[in-house]
């Protein structure tokens, strides 16, 4: 793996050796950044995007030779799928291998393809856990927080009076752009410079495991906070036994642990998802349960959303106000 | 022909055609039928009407949210309801309101992860069309969230139509490669799939928003109060799914207790502090956790990462 240092030098070095220029590498990176999912499909996922990203390299290395161009294009149109940002290291490595091959080293088509397929799984695992699993939700949570969607929007329920801060989405956009483009660039250039052995040694060293663990700790704390802030379940039910009435929400649940129900609900949802329930199925079930829970069978018909208190099992926006309203009807 | 390791995902030709037709019927047919019914009612609406120009901008926005043109960032940006909400708000003349509704809808899709091209609902469509309906119909918080859910599900139809038909362009790329035609491969990667994407995103969304958005808002506002209350309750509960979907990835091993730490810290701080405060605490704890677990980390988390990897390579992962 000594395909280094020449990244910045001229196109063809002495002795007719074919070299990738820095411009070729940047061009290939740009194409991948833009078009990685342009033709995303069930059959071979990112295959045509990979071949597209290789076109500046193929032109430089095999330009003019129809047979070699054809073989190179076909070589890169095989099934490929990875994380678009962290997985870009594979492109760098592939470019380095293509360069060696074009200069007469014994590298079979198979060696290139198996390098690609061998790395795309692990890189997808790492990239999707860090990118889609932790960094992006974290930045979105930050954006939501800045937008000002807090308890007050949920308490009143009426969104008309409240205006959000547009800075939230804008800041999120900038941060996620820096993250995504930056990672893709570093991966592309490092993959080309350091080659395959570097990547496998990093994968083996357990460094990525440490990064993922640390990021998971951070992610879990933020998710816990989001649960407290945004998941709202209130029981409006009042159990009456003779003279005494027990309000389930205030007198029972809040005494055990404030916000017990939202916490239990999130953990239950996680457990169901882990057991293979489809999120869409859960969405449908939850909406149905909410609507059923809102049927006013215990008290008078509510005139406004906020005065459903005590007439149904579940209660929107907040716990019931103090004196139980249906008492006056008795 | 290249062997496809994911052959079982491929659909037959008949299934492809029927999928495409059903997509068009669902997306164009339903709003048209709905519109036909509204002519008989002709009741005055208290809602915001959306002009054709605004509909075109919203349709264009949804196309862009799936397209590669914004430096390939669309999947992380325009496709997220938070950003889509702001843009819809700007188009309809109320950016702050749009950003707020987008943020609310985004809670459901917080843990949205596209794995191997299969998506659980489309946050893009939920964001663009959901925010439009919420603003046009002046909906409350819960109803805005509740309407975004079925719209997001409809988005999977668009996504499937795209992923299925794009397979055909793969074969065009093969033929171009056989002729050593680099330009042909590039056209197969950009031109044809983007034209198809434009057709299945811009056209139906523009028509649906122009014809249906205010109407759907009217219908929802006509619901009985207890049903609106039910939707409002759902608005408080649905974020649990978004959070739990994210937990599926990181609620593992020795990181589990930190979820409860974060929860209790937020409860103690009265639910109103910025997430930034928690994030700073989180970074400090993450650092301590990794440092003090030291070399045991790689062993302790081995089963996790192994499992993740086999998951991924089997399902072969990624998305935008």
pLDDT in tens, A51-77: 999 999 999 999 888 999 999 999 999
Q: What is the model's pLDDT at position B202?
A: 95
Q: Is the pLDDT of residue A225 over 60?
A: yes
CB atoms within 10 A of CB B129: 29
Least confident of A4-13, B13-22, B96-105: A4-13
- Mean pLDDT score, B188-196: 94
Q: Is the pLDDT of residue B29 over 70?
A: no
Q: Is the pLDDT of residue A188 over 90?
A: yes
Residue B26 pLDDT class (50, 70, 90 cuts) = low
Least confident of B39-43, B76-80, B209-213: B39-43
The answer to whether the CB of A310 falls within 8 A of the CB of A320 is yes
Give the closest-approach CA distance of A293 to chain B in angstroms.
7
Q: Which residue of A has its CA nearest to B113?
A: A132
The answer to whether the CB of B154 falls within 8 A of the CB of B125 is yes
Q: What is the model's pLDDT at position A153?
A: 55
Three-point CA angle B96, B109, B65, nearest 5°: 70
ipTM at complex level: 0.84
Contact across the interface for A169 and B11, Cβ inside 8 Å: no
Q: Within chain A, how many helices (H) and strands (E) appear?
A: 12, 2
Which chain B residues are Cβ-neighbours of A266 within 8 angstroms? 240, 243-244, 247
| CB neighbour list of residue A194: distance below 8 Å, 6 or more residues apart | A1, A4
**B136 φ, ψ (degrees, to nearest 5):** -65, -40
Give the closest-approach CA distance of B207 to chain A in angstroms.
24
Nearest to B261 among A55, A224, A234 (CB): A224
Q: What is the model's pLDDT at position B13?
A: 60
- Mean pLDDT score, B90-118: 83
Distance of CA B160 to the CA centre of its chain: 13
CB-based burial, A229-267: b 16+ in 10 Å, e otherwise? bbbbbbbbbbeeeeeeeebbbeeebeeeeebebbbebbb
Give the C-alpha separation, B123 to B134, whole Å: 15
Q: What is the model's pLDDT at position B310?
A: 41
The answer to whether the CB of A28 falls within 8 A of the CB of A192 is no
Least confident of A32-36, A89-93, B168-172, B295-299: B295-299
Which chain B residues are Cβ-neighbours of A273 within 8 angstroms? 244-245, 247-248
Give the C-alpha separation, A297 to B281, whole Å: 46
Q: Which residue has the tokens 């073989």?
A: A71
Least confident of A140-154, A180-194, B77-91, B250-264: A140-154
Contact across the interface for B103 and A149, Cβ inside 8 Å: yes
Give the C-alpha separation, A39 to A115, whole Å: 23
Going from N- to C-terminal start, the domains of chain B cover 41-244, 254-299
Q: Is the pLDDT of residue B15 over 50?
A: yes
Contact across the interface for A273 and B258, Cβ inside 8 Å: no
Give the closest-approach CA distance of A278 to chain B in angstroms.
8
Per-residue pLDDT tens over the stretch B211-265: 888 888 888 888 888 888 888 888 888 889 889 988 988 898 888 999 999 999 9
The full length of chain A comes to 330
Nearest to A280 among B153, B179, B244 (CB): B153
**A239 φ, ψ (degrees, to nearest 5):** -90, 125
DSSP string, A149-172: -SHHHHHH---TT----THHHHHH
Reduce the DSSP state of residue A245 to 3 states and report it. Answer: strand
Q: Which residue of B has its CA nearest to A83?
A: B318
Q: What is the model's pLDDT at position A5?
A: 42
Q: What is the model's pLDDT at position A328?
A: 43
Contact across the interface for B258 and A42, Cβ inside 8 Å: no
Q: What is the model's pLDDT at position B16?
A: 60
Residue B89: name the closest of A157, A162, A153, A178 by CA.
A162
Q: Which residue of B has its CA nearest to A147?
A: B100
Higher local confidence (pLDDT), A279 or A101: A101
Higher local confidence (pLDDT), B255 or B114: B255
Q: What is the model's pLDDT at position A236?
A: 78
Residue B3 pLDDT class (50, 70, 90 cuts) = very low
Q: What is the model's pLDDT at position B296?
A: 60
Mean pLDDT of chain B: 79
Which chain A residues are Cβ-neighbours of B226 within 8 angstroms? 294-296, 301-302, 308, 312
Contact across the interface for A172 and B194, Cβ inside 8 Å: no
Q: Best mutation site among A137, A154, A233 for testing chain B: the one with the most B CBs within 10 Å? A: A137
Higher local confidence (pLDDT), A293 or B39: A293
Q: Which residue has the tokens 């909400």?
A: B85
The answer to whether the CB of B86 falls within 8 A of the CB of B99 is yes
A136-145, B103-112, B221-230: range with highest mean pLDDT: A136-145
DSSP state of A238: E
Residue B306 pLDDT class (50, 70, 90 cuts) = very low
> Partners of A45 in the beta sheet?
A41, A80
Residue B207 pLDDT class (50, 70, 90 cuts) = very high
Q: What is the model's pLDDT at position A305?
A: 65
Per-residue pLDDT tens over the stretch B150-178: 888 888 889 889 999 999 999 999 999 99
Give the closest-approach CA distance of B242 to chain A in angstroms.
9
DSSP state of A5: S
Give the closest-approach CA distance of A128 to chain B in angstroms.
7
Q: What is the model's pLDDT at position B113?
A: 74
- Mean pLDDT score, B169-195: 94
Residue A249 pLDDT class (50, 70, 90 cuts) = confident
Q: Which residue of A has its CA nearest to B247?
A: A270
Q: What is the model's pLDDT at position A253?
A: 80
> Partners of B118 in the beta sheet?
B115
Q: What is the model's pLDDT at position B301?
A: 45
Give the C-alpha separation, A98 to A68, whole Å: 11
Least confident of A313-317, B46-50, B222-226, B308-312: B308-312
Q: Is the pLDDT of residue A154 over 80?
A: no
> Partners of A244 in the beta sheet?
A241
Give the C-alpha separation, A115 to B217, whole Å: 53
A301-305, B18-22, B96-100: range with highest mean pLDDT: B96-100
Q: What is the model's pLDDT at position A195?
A: 83
Residue B117: name the closest of A11, A285, A45 by CA.
A45
Phi-psi region of A242 (alpha: psi -120 to 50; beta: other; left: phi over 0): left
In chain A, pLDDT over 90 holds for what percent of residues?
A: 45
In chain A, pLDDT over 70 holds for what percent of residues?
A: 83
Which token pair is A49?
């995007």
| CB neighbour list of residue B236: distance below 8 Å, 6 or more residues apart | A154, A230, A231, A232, A233, A234, A316, A317, B142
Q: Which residue has the tokens 């978004």?
A: B242
Nearest to B233 among A46, A221, A316 (CB): A316
Q: What is the model's pLDDT at position B24?
A: 62
Q: Is the pLDDT of residue B88 over 60?
A: yes
Size of interface A-B (CB pairs under 8 A): 524
CB atoms within 10 A of CB B11: 16
């Amino acid at each position: 793996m000594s395909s280094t240092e020449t990244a910045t030098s001229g196109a063809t070095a002495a002795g007719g050796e074919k070299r990738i220029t820095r411009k070729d590498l940047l061009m290939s990176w740009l194409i991948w950044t833009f078009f990685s999912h342009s033709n995303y499909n069930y059959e071979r996922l990112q295959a045509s995007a990979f071949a597209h990203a290789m076109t500046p390299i193929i032109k430089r290395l095999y330009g003019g030779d129809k047979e070699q161009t054809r073989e190179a294009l076909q070589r890169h149109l095989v099934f490929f799928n990875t994380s678009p940002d962290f997985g870009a290291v594979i492109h760098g490595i592939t470019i380095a291998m293509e360069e060696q091959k074009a200069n007469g080293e014994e590298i079979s088509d198979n060696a290139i393809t198996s390098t690609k397929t061998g790395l795309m799984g692990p890189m997808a695992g790492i990239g999707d856990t860090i990118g889609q699993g932790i960094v992006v939700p974290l930045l979105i949570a930050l954006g939501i927080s800045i937008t000002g969607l807090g308890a007050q929007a949920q308490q009143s329920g009426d969104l008309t009076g409240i205006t959000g801060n547009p800075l939230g989405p804008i800041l999120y956009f900038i941060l996620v752009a820096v993250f995504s483009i930056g990672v893709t660039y570093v991966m592309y250039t490092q993959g080309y410079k350091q080659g395959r052995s570097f990547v496998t040694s990093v994968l083996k060293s357990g460094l990525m495991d440490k990064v993922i663990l640390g990021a998971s700790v951070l992610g879990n704390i933020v998710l816990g906070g989001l649960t407290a802030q945004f998941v709202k379940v209130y029981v409006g039910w009042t159990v009456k036994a003779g003279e005494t009435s027990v309000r389930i929400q205030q007198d029972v649940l809040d005494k055990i642990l404030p916000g017990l129900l939202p916490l239990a609900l999130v953990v239950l949802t996680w457990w169901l998802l882990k057991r293979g329930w489809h999120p869409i199925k859960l969405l449908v079930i939850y909406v149905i349960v909410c609507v059923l829970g809102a049927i006013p069978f215990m008290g008078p018909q509510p005139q406004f959303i906020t005065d459903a208190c005590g007439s149904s099992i579940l209660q929107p926006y907040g716990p019931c106000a103090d004196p139980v309203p249906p008492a006056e009807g008795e | 022909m290249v062997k496809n390791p994911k052959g079982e995902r491929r659909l037959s030709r008949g299934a492809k055609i029927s999928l495409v037709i059903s997509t068009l019927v669902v997306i164009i047919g339903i709003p048209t039928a709905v519109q036909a019914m509204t002519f008989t009612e002709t009741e005055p609406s208290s809602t915001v009407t959306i002009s054709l120009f605004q509909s075109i901008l919203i349709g264009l926005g949804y196309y862009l949210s799936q397209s590669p043109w914004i430096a390939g960032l669309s999947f992380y940006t325009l496709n997220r309801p938070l950003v889509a909400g702001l843009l819809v708000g700007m188009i309809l003349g109320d950016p702050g309101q749009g950003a707020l509704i987008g943020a609310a809808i985004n809670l459901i899709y917080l843990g949205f992860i596209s794995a191997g091209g299969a998506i659980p609902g489309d946050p893009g469509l939920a964001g663009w069309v959901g925010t439009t309906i919420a603003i046009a119909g002046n909906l409350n918080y819960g109803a805005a969230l509740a309407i975004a859910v079925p719209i997001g599900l409809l988005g999977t139809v668009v996504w499937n139509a795209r992923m299925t038909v794009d397979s055909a362009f793969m074969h065009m790329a093969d033929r171009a490669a056989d002729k050593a035609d680099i330009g042909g491969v590039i056209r197969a990667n950009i031109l044809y799939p983007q034209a198809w994407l434009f057709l299945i995103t811009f056209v139906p969304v523009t028509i649906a928003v122009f014809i249906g958005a205010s109407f759907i808002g009217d219908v929802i506002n006509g619901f009985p109060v207890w049903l609106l209350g039910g939707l409002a309750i759902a608005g408080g509960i649905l974020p649990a799914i978004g959070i739990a979907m994210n937990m599926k990835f990181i609620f593992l091993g020795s990181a589990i207790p930190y979820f409860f730490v974060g929860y209790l810290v937020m409860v103690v701080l009265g639910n109103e502090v910025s997430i930034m405060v928690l994030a700073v605490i989180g970074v400090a704890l993450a650092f301590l956790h990794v440092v003090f677990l030291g070399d045991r980390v790689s062993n302790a988390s081995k089963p996790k990462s192994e499992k993740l990897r086999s998951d991924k390579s089997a399902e072969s992962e990624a998305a935008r």
